[in-house]
Structure 1
């Protein structure tokens, strides 16, 4: 990923995170995007060269189709983001990206991989379930 591609990815990643975290935390769209940009900046202080972070662009041939962000800093590596571009969804790229990430984590000597998924994202939940991920924690909310 070039520096220019990273800047585009960083913006899109924050927008994607804001779309999930905003409703989950009751944030306005403006506050959600502000929160998302702040969190990404904290997690990646050295941009794409931040130690213990893998930020990949997935391509089909020469065409970018998605991305994956994994931190290997915690004892159990953590997926911060998986995205497949809207025009390429439903073609198996999400699964292929996840499997490539899992293989790299295995190669690095790890035996587990964690992630969070917002409850309002059934497509992602189905993908993760089909790949063998299981619920280890669950947060629930009721609007009163």
Structure 2
């Protein structure tokens, strides 16, 4: 495995947050929609409602950290959302901009997340990944994440 490209995390700006809201909702909807039997627009509505519930004060919501990730050349390559409301930080979202996918930035952003959490004194990091996202599952497993809970469903 080659060395992933370096990234720097910077607190998300208000302007970046506006664009991030839609991208984040679409990403979440792509995962949750098929698993809940929701069509595209219904899934996006659920996703926006969930983010509004979790981030009632947007970027100012207490104990939620939102960053924009930048590549070595200063180009925005993605984003990261972590909640520190519980003793173990929880990754709510990792995004790599479409034009930068497949280049190792997802790995770099997750490694930066780990570093940031360690810097803040945390010893663990949790996340959820939908079963219909094999590339993400593979990435997280390669980074040492282990399954600690599993939700199952049976179609009737």
TM-score after normalising by structure 1: 0.95
Question: Residue 84 of structure 1 corresponds to which residue in structure 2?
Answer: 96
Partners of 2:89 and 2:14 in 1: CA distance? 24
Unpaired runs of 5+ residues, structure 2, are 1-11
User: How far does the alpha carbon of each residue in 1:9-62 deviate from its partner, in whole angstroms, 9 at most, with x for none?
Assistant: 011101100111111111122221111101101111111121111111111122
Say which of 72, 84, 87 aligns to 1:75. Answer: 87
Bigger relative contact order (CA 8 A; separation at least 6): 2
Say which of 125, 128, 138 aligns to 1:116. Answer: 128
Check if 1:126 corresponds to 2:138. Answer: yes
Unpaired runs of 5+ residues, structure 1, are none
Partners of 1:106 and 1:63 in 2: CA distance? 25
Say which of 39, 50, 57 aligns to 1:28. Answer: 39
Say which of 60, 65, 89 aligns to 1:54. Answer: 65
Check if 1:7 corresponds to 2:29. Answer: no
TM-score after normalising by structure 2: 0.88
Q: Secondary structure at the match of 2:41?
A: helix
Partners of 1:127 and 1:45 in 2: CA distance? 30
4+ residue runs of structure 1 moved beyond 4 angstroms? none
Aligned residues: 144
